[in-house]
Amino acid sequence: MNLSRIESPVFREKVITAEQAASYIKDGMTVSVPHFICYDSPVSTARALLGRRNTGEKIEVKLISAASCTPVIDEDWTNAGMIKSFMPYTQAHSSVRKSANTAEGGLNFMDYRLSLIPEYIRSGYLGDIDVALVSIAGITEDGKLKPSVCAGYTQTVLNCAKKVILEINLQSSEGMYRLHDVYEPDARPGRKPIPITRATDVIGSHFYTCDPDKVLGVVITDEPLFLSPMWYPLTADAAPPEVKQIAKNFVNFLQIEIAEGRMSEKLPPIQTGGGMVAGTVLREMGKHFKGMEMYTEAVLEDAMDMVREGSIDFISTAGFGCAGDTTDHILKHPEEYEGKLMVRPVEISNNPEVIRRLGLITMNNIVEADIYGNINSSHVNGTSVISGIGGALDFAQNAGLPCYFTLSTAKKGALSCIVPSCSHIDITEHEPCIIVTEYGVADLRNKSPKQRVAEMVRIAHPDYRPMLQEYYDRALESCGPDKAHTPVLLEELGAWHIRARDNGSMLQKD
């Protein structure tokens, strides 16, 4: 067995097989896999536990993750009925979504914003964590744990879990610890401010720590690194014209903000969500703005490329949401990215205090928005979860400029993404924001609900603008002269979505 990654004599004595590690996990336990995105998942231990289930043994656990895990956990554990409840975020794997949307007998998906989970763990709100499955890249001679690619809630879980199983993947990047900034906030009350005033600030350590007495064992594995399909790069070059127009509209908006003195020529740090739109917008911004920095939750391949090309100076992130040549280069040569790339815990990347202090420009995708500025970013037709809120609410409520992108329609025009009333609301109208489609920018700042309607109708698809305006006019009339702060037709709140469900389109038939 290759023990080269374990320099500590104490931890060398704790090496066990994946099957031995899995034997410590019992039916009904709460298990945490605290990593952020699939690179860091403890695959061998997870597969060994699945093997026990496949022999007929009853194993059902409560799973606390940080984002998508390896398919062995998200797909195979789910399909085998091994997950009783899951939190806080899912997007990559269809089995988790399908089970979460099952009326009876599926897993219980608890959709909490990402920044809350570490606090909930420390406070005991989620109950005891019986076992933490933690993937690392190695152990130093003095017993420090080398982080692998992503951070998640790892240090919090190492501190709070009753017992810990460590898994070292020999194919992980042993030098990635150089890019990590591991930091745990002080206890409450009396917590000191998090000392970040610039995206580039280093405030912690390169290593995790863990009491050896709580470590049940260390598993050595040699598994190919896996990245979830949802994060494979959809580059700006592949973007359709409508997406490129969204990017141009947004850049034009930023240029106006600078010209009118509301923003400096050097932009505040940027946060982005995932997908083609975010990558396309970043690429367009790189053509017009210099010295860009990012303070974000997950970083895309386009952003990684832009660091390597020099159009982005620095990225602070909680994890890599990408897989491509640049990411491979970073994993093989992390030392070349010191001072350009930093990996922080999710609690710090998504921390409301830090987000507000830095004045971020945040850019996230949405499912739909209504004419008053309420936003649905997680559900289809109000009932079926796509992913979860993730960090969207952390950024919506605290960013200097929260911005949202959507095409004006979906399903080849059958669905309008600007609607009279959202079928589910994640972000309310009380977080003034910018919403961008291929038809323009709706600036909802400094506007009452009635004033926002014109902005939202203007960026809707032309086929739906008359319908939206007609709805608003009737709603305003029906409210009467003294009940019209936010005009709605209660009897029609779900009418557009019902029409789409029954007829396949939100468009009215002639």
Helices (H) and strands (E) in the chain, counts: 18, 25
200 vs 206: CA distance, rounded Å: 15
Cα separation, 422 vs 163, whole angstroms: 44
Chunked mean pLDDT (size 10), the chain, 510 residues: 95 98 97 82 93 96 84 86 82 74 81 90 95 97 95 95 97 94 94 97 98 98 71 63 97 98 97 87 95 93 89 93 76 93 96 97 96 94 85 92 97 98 95 94 97 98 98 95 93 96 91
| Domains assigned to the chain | 9-229 (3.40.1080.10), 237-462 (3.40.1080.10)
Strand order in the sheet with 292-295: 341-343, 312-317, 292-295, 270-272, 361-365, 401-405, 434-437, 440-443
Task: Say if residues 173 and 343 touch (Cβ distance below 8 Å).
Answer: no
CA angle 286, 457, 248 (to 5 degrees): 15
Instruction: Please tell me the predicted confidence (pLDDT) of residue 229.
Output: 46
Residue 354 half-sphere exposure toward CB, CA atoms < 13 A: 28
- Round to whole Å and give the CA distance between 64 and 313: 34
CA-nearest of 428, 410, 419, 417 to 489 is: 419
Cβ(90)–Cβ(387) below 8 Å: yes
What are the φ/ψ torsions at residue 52 (nearest 5 degrees)?
-65, -40
What confidence score (pLDDT) does residue 230 get? Answer: 46
Residue at 238: amino acid letter = A
User: Please, what is the Cα angle at 74 between 70 and 397, to 5 degrees?
Assistant: 95
Dihedral sign for Cα atoms in the order 122, 35, 336, 295 = negative
- Residue 41 is predicted with a pLDDT of 83
- For residue 237, the model assigns a pLDDT of 66
What are the backbone angles phi and psi of residue 278, rounded to the nearest 5°?
A: -60, -45
pLDDT score recorded for residue 92: 56
> In a 3-state reduction of DSSP, which class is residue 51?
helix
- The confidence score (pLDDT) of residue 135 equals 94
Residue 38 has a pLDDT of 63
HSE toward the beta carbon, residue 77, CA cutoff 13 A = 29
pLDDT at 228: 54
pLDDT value, residue 274: 79
Q: What is the pLDDT of residue 391?
A: 84
Catalytic annotation, residues? 297
- Encoding tokens for residue 377? 């970013």
